[in-house]
C-alpha cells in the first residue's frame, strides 16, 4: 500500500474545471466521450461539462484522486485535486501540472487515446480495473449532481474547526464544514433560507455557493433542434457528400481511364451510380454511430441521441439512416413533420427512437452560412422555371433557321446537279458531292453536329434534319418522300424532289409555323391568302 493511501486517506476531493484549453476538444465532443466512458446519458454528461467547476468526488485517497485526474484528462478534461483537512493542499506539481488559486491543476493532452496504451484509462484504475472504467467510476460521475464547489478560504475558520455539528437538513452528526457530507446541502444558504444564521468567524462570499446541489432525478431541460436549423445542417452535409462524390468520381476515372479504354466507360456509369446510392447511407451511419453527429450537425452544434438520453450505437444509426427512405416517399412529409412535432422529431426519428438536440451554442454566422442555400435554391428554381422556356424557345428557333438555310442551299446544288447530269447523286455519293460543290459538309445542329440525312435512288431525293424532337423516325425514303417540302413535320425538317408537291404548297400558300411550337413538335399551318 502506498504512502498516499495510508497517510491522509480520504482527505482529498476531485474538482472538475472544464475542458482543457487548447486541447482541440469542445464541450460537445468531451460530453460524448464522457458519456461513453462512464456509461451515463448525454444530458448528464453535458450538464457536468457546462457546470464546471464542480466537485465530482470527495473523501478519497491521494492515489484514487490521481486516477480520477488521469482518466478525465484522457478525455480532454481538466481537474484539480484538493486536500480537505485544512493542511497542505498537495505535493509539488509534476511537469504536467500548475497552480490556480493555491490548488494544483492538471491539463492532460486530449489527444491521448482512452485505451490501448500503458497509461490508458483501464490501467490507471488499479485495483478497480477488473470492474471496468465505466462501473468503477459511475458512482463518481453520478455523485457530481449531489455536490457543490466552494472556492477555498485562506486558513481554517472557526466553523471548520467546530466538532459535533448536526446537519439542519438530514440531522447527520459531522464536523462543521461548508456542505453536508451526506445530503450535500450548503449550510450558509440553508441558514439564510431558514432565517437562522449562525455566526462564523470567516465570511464566505456569495460566489462560493453559486453552484447549488443538483438532484439526480431532476428533469434535464433539453432544447430540441427545429426544422430550419436541421435543414441548414442537411445543406452542409449535402455539400460534404458532393465533395466526396466528386473526389470518388475523379478516382474512378483515373483508375479505369475510359478515355483510353472505351469498354471501361460501360462499367463506369453503373459503378458510379452504385456509389452515389449507398454513399449517403454509409456517411450518416458512420458519423452518427461514431460521434452522434455528422459534420453538418456538428457545424451547427446539434447532436442526435436516443430518447433515454444515451448515445447512438451503429445499429441505431443504421435504422435512422435507412428510415430516411420512408420519410421522403410521401413528398418528404416525414421531414416536414419536424416543423410540427412537439419534440421536433421526423418519422425517421420516431422509427429509430432518437431526438436531435442543441448540444452547443454556435456563432450566428454559422447558421446564416448553412441557411443561405435553403433560401437561395428556391429563388433560383423560380427564376429558372420562368427563364428557361424562353431561352429554349429562342435557342430552338435559331437552330431551325440554320437547318432550313443549310438544306435550302444543299437542295439548290442538288437541283443544279440534276440539270447537268439528269440525275441526283446517289446516297453513298452525297459527301463527295458536298465537298466538290460546297467545299464543306454542313452539320445538323439538332444531331450533335452530324451531317444532314440524305437518301436518293438517282431520280428522287429526300434531305432532312432530325429537327427539335431529335428523333429520326419520321423521315421517309426517297421512293415515298414526305410531303412537307421544307416545312416542319413531327419535328423533322424535310426537303424532297417532288415538284408536284411544290406546286400544291405554293398554291395553298403554306409556310412554316411562326407561332410558339407545341412542346418540341413543330406543326405546319397555312399562311393567310
Write out the chain's pLDDT in tens, 529 residues. Answer: 444 444 445 678 888 888 876 555 678 888 888 887 777 888 788 888 887 778 888 788 888 888 888 888 888 888 888 887 544 444 333 333 333 333 333 333 333 333 333 333 333 333 333 333 444 344 444 444 344 334 444 444 444 344 457 777 677 777 777 777 666 666 666 666 654 333 433 333 333 333 344 443 434 457 899 999 999 999 999 999 999 988 888 888 888 776 666 666 667 778 888 888 899 999 999 999 999 999 999 999 999 999 988 889 999 999 999 999 999 988 899 999 999 999 999 999 999 999 999 988 889 899 888 888 878 878 887 887 777 666 667 777 788 888 888 888 998 899 898 888 888 999 888 889 998 888 888 988 888 878 888 888 888 888 888 877 677 654 443 333 344 444 444 567 777 776 545 444 444 444 444 333 333 333 333 333 2
Residue that the C-alpha cell 485544512 belongs to: 86
Q: By the 8 A CB rule, do 84 and 13 touch?
A: yes
Spell out a b/e string for 55-66, using b for 16 or more CB atoms within 10 Å of the CB, else e. bbbbebbbbbbb
Residue 415: CA count within 13 A, CB half-sphere:
11
Here the cell at position 242 is: 458532393
Spell out a b/e string for 398-418, using b for 16 or more CB atoms within 10 Å of the CB, else e. ebbebbbebbeebbeebeebb
Q: How far apart are CA 423 and CA 224, in angstroms?
A: 83
Torsion angles phi and psi, residue 83, rounded to 5:
-95, 125
pTM tops 0.85: no
Same fold, 3-146 and 385-526: no
Here the cell at position 160 is: 471548520
Closest CA to 120 of 135, 107, 103, 132: 132
Fold of 3-146: Ribosomal Protein L30; Chain: A, (3.30.1390)
Closest CA to 431 of 443, 422, 419, 421: 443
**CATH entry, 385-526, from 1.10.260.40, 3.30.700.10, 3.40.1360.10, 3.40.640.10:** 3.30.700.10
For the chain, the structural domain boundaries read 3-146, 158-203, 227-362, 385-526
Q: By the 8 A CB rule, do 341 and 355 touch?
A: no
H-helix segments, 195-346: 227-256, 262-290, 295-299, 314-322, 324-328, 333-336
Amino acid at each position: 500500500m502506498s504512502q498516499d493511501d495510508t497517510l491522509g486517506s480520504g482527505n482529498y476531493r476531485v474538482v472538475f474545471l472544464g475542458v482543457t484549453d487548447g486541447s482541440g476538444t469542445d464541450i460537445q465532443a468531451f460530453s460524448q466521450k464522457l458519456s461513453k466512458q462512464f456509461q451515463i446519458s448525454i444530458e448528464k454528461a453535458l450538464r457536468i461539462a457546462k457546470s464546471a467547476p464542480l466537485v465530482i468526488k470527495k473523501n478519497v485517497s491521494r492515489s484514487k484522486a490521481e486516477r480520477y485526474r488521469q482518466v478525465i484528462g484522457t478525455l480532454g478534461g481538466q481537474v484539480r485535486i484538493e486536500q480537505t483537512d485544512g493542511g497542505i493542499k498537495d505535493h509539488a506539481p509534476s511537469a504536467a501540472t500548475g497552480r490556480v488559486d493555491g490548488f494544483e491543476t492538471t491539463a492532460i493532452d486530449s489527444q491521448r487515446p482512452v485505451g490501448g496504451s500503458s497509461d490508458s484509462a483501464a490501467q490507471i484504475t488499479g485495483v478497480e480495473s477488473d470492474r471496468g472504467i465505466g462501473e468503477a467510476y459511475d458512482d463518481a460521475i453520478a455523485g457530481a449532481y449531489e455536490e457543490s464547489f466552494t472556492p477555498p478560504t485562506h486558513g481554517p475558520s472557526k466553523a471548520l474547526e467546530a466538532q459535533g455539528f448536526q446537519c439542519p437538513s438530514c440531522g447527520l452528526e459531522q464536523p462543521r464544514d461548508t456542505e453536508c457530507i451526506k445530503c450535500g446541502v450548503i449550510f450558509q444558504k440553508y441558514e439564510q433560507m431558514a432565517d437562522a444564521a449562525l455566526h462564523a468567524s470567516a465570511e464566505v462570499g456569495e460566489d462560493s455557493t453559486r453552484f447549488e446541489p443538483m438532484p439526480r432525478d431532476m428533469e434535464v431541460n433539453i432544447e430540441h433542434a427545429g426544422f430550419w436549423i436541421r435543414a441548414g445542417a442537411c445543406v452542409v452535409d449535402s455539400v460534404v457528400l458532393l465533395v466526396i462524390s466528386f473526389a470518388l468520381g475523379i478516382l474512378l476515372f483515373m483508375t479505369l481511364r475510359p478515355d483510353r479504354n472505351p469498354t471501361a466507360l460501360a462499367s463506369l456509369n453503373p459503378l458510379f451510380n452504385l456509389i452515389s446510392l449507398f454513399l449517403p447511407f454509409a456517411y450518416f451511419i458512420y458519423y452518427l454511430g461514431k460521434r452522434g453527429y455528422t459534420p453538418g450537425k456538428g457545424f451547427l452544434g446539434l447532436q442526435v441521441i436516443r430518447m433515454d438520453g444515451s448515445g447512438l450505437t451503429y445499429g441505431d444509426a443504421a435504422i435512422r439512416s435507412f428510415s430516411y427512405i420512408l420519410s421522403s416517399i410521401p413528398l418528404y412529409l416525414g421531414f416536414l413533420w419536424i416543423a410540427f412535432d412537439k419534440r421536433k422529431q421526423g418519422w425517421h426519428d420516431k422509427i429509430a427512437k432518437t431526438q436531435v438536440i442543441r448540444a452547443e451554442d454556435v456563432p450566428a454566422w454559422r447558421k446564416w452560412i448553412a441557411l443561405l442555400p435553403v433560401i437561395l435554391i428556391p429563388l433560383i428554381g423560380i427564376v429558372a422555371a420562368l427563364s428557361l422556356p424562353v431561352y429554349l424557345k429562342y435557342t430552338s428557333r435559331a437552330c431551325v433557321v440554320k437547318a432550313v438555310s443549310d438544306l435550302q442551299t444543299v437542295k439548290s446544288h442538288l437541283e443544279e446537279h440534276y440539270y447537268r447530269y439528269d440525275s441526283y447523286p446517289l446516297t453513298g455519293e452525297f459527301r463527295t458531292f458536298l465537298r466538290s460543290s460546297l467545299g464543306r459538309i454542313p452539320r445538323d445542329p439538332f444531331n450533335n453536329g452530324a451531317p444532314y440525312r440524305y437518301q436518293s435512288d438517282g431520280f428522287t431525293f429526300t434531305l432532312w434534319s432530325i429537327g427539335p424532337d431529335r428523333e429520326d423516325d419520321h423521315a421517309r425514303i426517297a421512293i415515298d418522300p414526305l410531303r412537307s417540302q421544307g416545312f416542319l413535320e413531327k419535328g423533322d425538317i424535310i426537303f424532297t424532289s417532288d415538284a408536284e408537291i411544290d406546286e400544291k404548297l405554293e398554291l395553298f400558300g403554306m409556310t412554316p409555323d411562326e407561332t410558339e411550337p407545341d412542346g418540341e413538335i413543330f406543326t405546319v399551318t397555312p399562311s393567310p391568302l
